[in-house]
Chain A
């Protein structure tokens, strides 16, 4: 785009428009906003960006975001570094942002493992392209009782969950997947077959499911990942009445 702005200005606009979802118009507004700030305020923003980029790294244990220590070495993240967490449970997620999502519901006391994506062979993302090997090594070094496969509820996330549970099938580790139910606020009529089918297969008793937990809303209901479980669903739960 030809620009009548001075070089440094048009360069800044060009860089800002590289943000996902930001067009040239919005980039211009952001840069003009920065130019309009007092020098102190602008410096605060610049410093925060620069220290985020230079100091943030990945946790060497779980690959969540963490910061570099004094020797510039990656440190354990705030979750792995917290000795009160239950080391016997690992929640496996695709993205560091998923960790903060689970941390916000506050109830989960185990650790995490961030895969950095999901297997998608068609797009060239094989099992070796994400941190499955790291997960298996980690479990071998410090055994766990349960793995919660919290990859995204889509085909790639499902495949990844199945793949990992298959790798661990003779280890005796309990492998679960967060239940998928019907979204609140929706009409049954609009639920798709897969969601409806899975919601029926993993139905639970009314009134009993909340007993162990004081905060129903934050409860993590998980189902065991097993091949071919969803066909015969009568084993799961009794009648409501």
Chain B
């Protein structure tokens, strides 16, 4: 349960923000220990605001937050931990980072602590912040989607046929059944190439680094991205805007 103290301090990542009256903004934070928090940042749009750019999307920070009486809290003070300058200087990294933010915003709940989700988001942003080519891999976003799905209890079955349990000739992915199907069972669902299948497995088995280092053709990375996105949208019953 969330404690009832008036003011608390927590580590957080900014998911998004929107304009409130005049120079204020409502900032949506994923905190480490207090779940998703919506808090008012007074005067943040003014050039001389003490918050400066600290409350921009995907910034990692420590915030002092005053608990409001309604569903809005107030940000009292912010200490920046990282503003991810490498992500900010690259369009493709920004695109990936926004995909992370959107799905986290959609699955996280207010006043429901989600430290694991927080760690996942921070971890993904930290991978993206590395300046090597690998960290900008097109596999990163679908990999993140799969991890979110697994965390929500919807990890797809990839090593055996989700219908009959056989472990050979797995060629299709069935959305409704939630996994790969063998030739005998799979009539519905989408065809999955062997390369895409092995990439999906690597990601779910915790071999993300290996998956990111694999030489992947654009066709295969698009296949993986499409599959992960479609399955995520299907399972979580949502439509992504950033993809």
Q: List residues of chain A with CB under 8 Å of any chain B CB.
A: 20-21, 121-124, 153-155, 158-159, 162-163, 166, 183, 185-186, 190-195, 197, 227-231
Contacts and interface: CB of A to CB of B under 8 A. Distances in A.
23 contacts: A20-B21, A21-B21, A122-B57, A122-B102, A123-B16, A154-B56, A155-B56, A155-B58, A158-B88, A159-B94, A162-B89, A162-B90, A162-B94, A191-B52, A192-B83, A193-B83, A194-B52, A194-B85, A195-B53, A227-B90, A228-B86, A229-B89, A231-B89
Contact of A230 (B16, B53, B89): B89
B53 A192 contact: yes
Interface string B183-195: 0000000000000
Contacts of A183: 47-48
B98 A162 contact: no
The residue among B47, B48, B85 with the most chain A CB atoms within 10 A of its own CB is B85
B22 A122 contact: no
Contacts of A194: 52-53, 56, 83, 85, 88
A190 B85 contact: no
Contact of B131 (A121, A195, A231): A231
Nearest to A192: B52
Nearest to B53: A194
Interface string B83-109: 101101111001000100110010000
What are the 8 closest A-B residue pairs judged by CB atoms, nearest first?
A192-B52, A194-B83, A121-B242, A155-B56, A194-B53, A162-B91, A192-B54, A155-B57
Contacts of B88: 155, 158, 194
B241 interface: yes
Interface in B14-66: 16, 18, 21-22, 47-48, 50-54, 56-58
Interface of B: 16, 18, 21-22, 47-48, 50-54, 56-58, 80, 82-83, 85-86, 88-91, 94, 98, 101-102, 105, 131, 241-242
Nearest to A185: B48
Nearest to A121: B242
Given A185-B48, A192-B53, 15 more contacts: A121-B241, A122-B101, A122-B242, A154-B53, A155-B57, A186-B48, A190-B52, A191-B52, A192-B52, A193-B83, A194-B56, A227-B89, A228-B86, A231-B85, A231-B131
A162 B90 CA distance: 8
A122 B16 contact: yes
A185 B47 CA distance: 11
Contacts of A121: 98, 102, 241-242
Contacts of A153: 53
A154 B52 CA distance: 10
B102 to A, nearest CB: 5
Given A122-B102, A163-B91, A21 B57 contact: no
Nearest to B54: A192
Given A158-B88, A231-B131, A21 B22 contact: yes
B91 A227 contact: yes
Contact of A122 (B48, B51, B82, B98): B98
A153 to B, nearest CB: 8
A108 to B, nearest CB: 19
